[in-house]
Structure 1
């Protein structure tokens, strides 16, 4: 039976959680539901399905909290949704308590937890967390590790785990866009934020590896608050001639396709889409074993390499093995695309269909 569903997100650009929301809108549309999306910021890069309500555009430059409350309250009462699916980070208890109790009106509310760094999504206090989420229809964790941590800490009975879907058709449409590439390179792409992505570890491991000595560049694609810090670190490691910095690219997939491999060095994640996207582009991956996600995506020495976190020597050794051990590299490359079939929109749709009863 068709449901009327509202997805709430900060935007439809510049992040894995935002990309997830766009993909989920397609999943729900495929299932025959009426899909609405509320964004709080006016950024749209990702393909989506459904009707878009852009709060920032509606505010017409106003920063009035009272005006935001009035607009949102009217919107949710007008539509009378069957489900609200909240995709935002939720770090401020009082704000979220108010939104969940007085603004978000729907028969059922589902809250997504996108990161193992739980303070971005749930209050530290179990008591306060239960004031907001205990009566929710469901809390959806995007990895098994997140699910287990949430259940163990908060004792919620309403938690389920559903992986982020990957839109393989979208990647195939965009992966062969013509680009000019003159050098061999490994790739990092994502938000430039040292406290999460640990780009110092990436630079340190790259410097210790044989890659730069073999004229294999490190290409870093993205924007963020620590771009200047990153440039300072590149100078510190004397890698100015070996690291290529590129701002955020709306369609990164041709660059992913041509990379030797994609790497991830995060301190924490949720379910990193860059790993799945890279594998979908037939590009193997090397990732640290952070919480959470990489261990549930990477089959070690089958589609990529999983390395102890915060260990630059181990990471450098993994980098080297993909250059020096051709058989290992080609085996991982050969298995890359088929290894992520279980995360396809078609398969993840089945999980959402069970949930939205």
Structure 2
């Protein structure tokens, strides 16, 4: 039985963190011995396997030197067959020490979760190749990221595996009741303005006729820019039309009831919110950011994809999906079947093939 360690910053709130939890389930079901090494004590998602929670074990006052010593001992003791690194990696010296002196395994898999590559790779090709040794394989979460990593850095051992969607779990979550009435559209996820661009969302919503028709905008999530979001809602005089709901572990009853969900990110990796909405039979509208949306959305079939940073185009898309009943019905009917290739069964098989 192969012994695998998933390294993650936490299992709380973010898409990459949710993926770590889901990956632990997938690999456990393949009967691998799964361990999770987590640096921050933040858990929102159910996981499988044995946990080593660094912050819980040693608190916040552990020095960098002691942290390296503890982790080196941990990886030496377990002698993993495979380490899957799911963290952001944007400090070269720190990562060089971890990859060359701390992480011990027969094989390293480093996942790139965002098109913003500097979160995962140094700007310098030389340093990138120095960091990721021969036994490290880079896996990206979209085909577009894979192509960019290969063309920008020349890595030959780089593949892509999409993030999976657990339709059965989403169906179960969506069946729960939630006290909400009236028509609304939805944006949910981490409240991080530099990435998610809620300013564009709010401006487009104000330009649209949705609020005049009594269709509200709900924004669900937690993060560092909640105050910014609330101030922007007030600045645009949208207090009566936009409701903010703090992070909830199960957003799917809201997703199920929404007319459609909207994504306005400046950049992504492979946005799970689009897959989750389609799994709930809810159409989607997304800007054509890099990367992910155009690999998920079939324009005019399960949703709409529009030019990024264009509030007018986004407002028109919001209006169109409300006004064009036949288009809306078509997108809703196609939603669930359109994500078959991202099913947890198919993605689990791809991970099994990789690990073999």
Q: What TM-score results when the alignment is normalised by the length of structure 2? A: 0.98
Which residue is equivalent to 1:143?
142
Is 1:37–1:50's contact at 8 Å kept on the other side of the alignment?
A: yes
Which residue is equivalent to 1:307?
306
Q: 1:163-312, aligned counterparts within 5 Å?
A: 163-312=162-311
The answer for unaligned runs of 5 or more in structure 1 is: none
Question: C-alpha distance in 1, partners of 2:222/2:352?
Answer: 36
CA deviations 1:146-173 (Å, max 9, x no partner) are 0000000000011001000111222122
Which residue is equivalent to 2:127?
128
Question: C-alpha distance in 2, partners of 1:154/1:134?
Answer: 14
CA deviations 1:208-250 (Å, max 9, x no partner) are 1010000101100112222122122112211111000111011
Q: CA deviation at 1:175?
A: 1.1
Q: CA deviation at 1:275?
A: 0.4
Which residue is equivalent to 2:69?
70
Matched, 1:346 2:325: no
Which residue is equivalent to 1:15?
14
Q: CA deviation at 1:70?
A: 2.0
Q: 1:307-346, aligned counterparts within 5 Å?
A: 307-346=306-345
Is 1:23–1:166's contact at 8 Å kept on the other side of the alignment?
A: no
Question: Any idea what SS the aligned residue of 2:255 has?
Answer: helix
CA deviations 1:286-345 (Å, max 9, x no partner) are 000000000000001111101111111110011001110111011101111111111111
Q: CA RMSD in A?
A: 1.0
CA deviations 1:117-145 (Å, max 9, x no partner) are 00001001111100011423310010011
Question: C-alpha distance in 1, partners of 2:329/2:54?
Answer: 47
Mean Cα deviation higher: 129-138 or 261-270:
129-138
Mean Cα deviation higher: 143-152 or 21-30:
21-30
Question: C-alpha distance in 1, partners of 2:59/2:133?
Answer: 36
Mean Cα deviation higher: 78-87 or 231-240:
231-240
Question: C-alpha distance in 2, partners of 1:231/1:12?
Answer: 26
The answer for unaligned runs of 5 or more in structure 2 is: none
Question: C-alpha distance in 2, partners of 1:341/1:44?
Answer: 29
Question: C-alpha distance in 2, partners of 1:61/1:313?
Answer: 47
Question: Any idea what SS the aligned residue of 2:243 has?
Answer: strand
Is 1:184–1:260's contact at 8 Å kept on the other side of the alignment?
A: yes
Q: CA deviation at 1:183?
A: 2.6
Question: Any idea what SS the aligned residue of 1:166 has?
Answer: coil
Which contiguous aligned blocks of 4+ residues in structure 1 show a shift greater than 4 angstroms? none
Question: C-alpha distance in 2, partners of 1:156/1:240?
Answer: 49
Question: C-alpha distance in 2, partners of 1:315/1:61?
Answer: 44
Question: C-alpha distance in 1, partners of 2:226/2:265?
Answer: 16
Question: C-alpha distance in 1, partners of 2:160/2:221?
Answer: 29
Is 1:77–1:105's contact at 8 Å kept on the other side of the alignment?
A: yes
Is 2:106–2:135's contact at 8 Å kept on the other side of the alignment?
A: no
Is 2:186–2:255's contact at 8 Å kept on the other side of the alignment?
A: yes
Question: C-alpha distance in 2, partners of 1:234/1:56?
Answer: 36
Q: CA deviation at 1:82?
A: 0.2
CA deviations 1:9-32 (Å, max 9, x no partner) are 011111000111111111211222
Question: C-alpha distance in 2, partners of 1:16/1:74?
Answer: 29
